[in-house]
Structure 1
Amino acid sequence: MKTVAFVPIRLNSQRVAGKNLRLLGGEPLLCHILKTLRNVGQIDEVWVFCSDERVRELLPEGVRFLKRSDELDRDTTLGREIYDSFTQQVEADLYLLAHATSPFIRSQTISEALDKVLSGAYDSAFSAERIQTFAWYEGQPLNYSLDDIPRTQTIEPVYVETSAFFIFPAALWRTRHRRIGNSPWMAVVDRIEGLDIDYPEDFTMAEIIAAGRKLPQ
């Protein structure tokens, strides 16, 4: 079974200007996820899908580049359009979609998730953060009753998708355009692994984490 990982890269980010090229821990943000993917043994190929040829010069050894249409860089472009374009051009049995905005996801976490899907026990996998606190949705308590307030330690947790990775078979995407199937493996990550750089304050937090990892232990 051929497993291909791909990272869509857009250089015209609106909320954090130039974030994919911005240095984090001494190297461009996009390099962190690429090096992580390259260290996952079950992955056969790692690709960057970007419209800007300049990115080629930054790619770690062994990472492939596929130029995408400038039309896919619009603010109105849907993820579905990007995934369609890539999967039509690069054949695989299993795809792993990852994002450069999750620099701290571990190769071990990805490897375990791949094993779960490759075993046949699960039809897909994705990363998620477990949040055990009082949650609300559409103006109502989501995981507790106002008439029976539990202790935080016993409240039913909720799980939030992170953007670190999604693993899905080619058939699932091509027939249903879904990156999560009916029986997915949920790779639960902590707050650091699950950090998604979407706003300037997220990048500041990532810089603090990266700097802390360089301190003597």
Structure 2
Amino acid sequence: MKTVAFVPIKLNSQRLPHKNILPFGDKPLCWHVINELINVKQIDEVYVYCSDEKIINYIPKEAKFLKRNPNLDGDLVKGFDIYKSFIDTVGADIYVLAHTTSPFLKSSTISSALLKMIESNYDSAFSAKKVQTFAWFDNKPINYDLNDIPRTQDIEPIYVETSGFFMFKQDVFTKHQRRIGFNPYIQEIDEYEAVDIDTKEDYEFALKLIKTLNENGREQHV
């Protein structure tokens, strides 16, 4: 069974210019999640999917570069079209889609989810943050009864997808055009791994977080 990880990257990001190659710790932002993927022993190949060969200067040497069509860099291009282009080019039984904007994601977390897929009957997996609080949608509570308010510790938790990773078997995508299948495993991640960098404010917060983690001696990988 072949497992391939791929990280789509474009260098002309809108909200935070040059986001993927900004300094983060002692490496570029994009380097971190790619390095964690490389350290997952169940992954056979790790690809960076980018239209600009300059990205090679910012990624671990063990990662493979695959040049994509520059048309896929457009602001209105959907992620699905990028994923399909890659999957049409590189064959695998299981794909691991990861994003550079989750630099605190750990290889052990990725490996844990992947092993669940390999050893069990899950057809996909994704990273999510557990939220156990009073939640509303469309002006209505979604996980508690207004007439019988539970204790916070007894409330039904909800799980919020993060951009960290999505794993799926080949036919989940090729047959059903989905990155989450019909029997997914939800890999719960902590507050640090759930950090997602899309804006200048996100980036500045993450830099402060690195500093705090270093000062407190907490184990982390940036």
Task: Tell me the TM-score range normalised by the shorter chain.
Answer: over 0.9
1:34 is aligned to 2:34 = yes
Mapping 1:1-217, distance limit 5 Å: 1-215=1-215, 217=217
In the TM superposition, what is the alpha-carbon distance from 1:171 to its structure 2 partner? 1.2
1:110-129 Cα deviation digits (max 9, x unpaired): 10111110113211100000
SS of equivalent to 1:20: helix
Per-residue deviation, 1:216: 6.0
Partner Cα separation in structure 1 for residue 212 and residue 26 of structure 2 = 13
CA distance in 1, matches of 2:179, 2:197: 21
| Amino acid across the alignment from 1:128 | A
Q: Which runs of 5+ in 2 are unaligned?
A: 218-222
- How far did residue 190 of structure 1 move? 1.0
CA distance in 1, matches of 2:163, 2:58: 22
SS of structure 2 residue aligned to 1:130:
strand
- Please provide the CA RMSD for this pair: 1.1
Could you tell me how far apart the structure 2 residues matched to 1:150 and 1:24 are? 42
- What is the aligned residue count? 217
Is the partner of 2:81 in helix, strand or coil? helix
The separation in 2 between residues aligned to 1:147 and 1:46, in whole angstroms, is: 51
TM-score normalised by L of structure 1:
0.97
Following superposition, the deviation at residue 198 of structure 1 comes to: 1.7
Give the aligned residue type for 1:179. Answer: R
SS of 1:95's equivalent? strand
| Offset from partner CA, 1:26-82 (integer Å, 9 cap, x none) | 211000001100110000000000011100122212100011111111111011100
* 2:33 aligned partner, one-letter code: I
Counterpart contact for 2:49–2:67, Cα < 8 Å: yes
1:81-133: CA deviations, max 9, x gaps? Answer: 00000001111111000000000111111101111101132111000000011
Taking the aligned partners of 1:59 and 1:17, their CA distance within structure 2 comes to 18
Q: Which structure 1 residue ranges, 5 or more long, are not aligned?
A: none
TM-score (norm 2): 0.95
Deviation larger for 79-88 or 140-149: 140-149
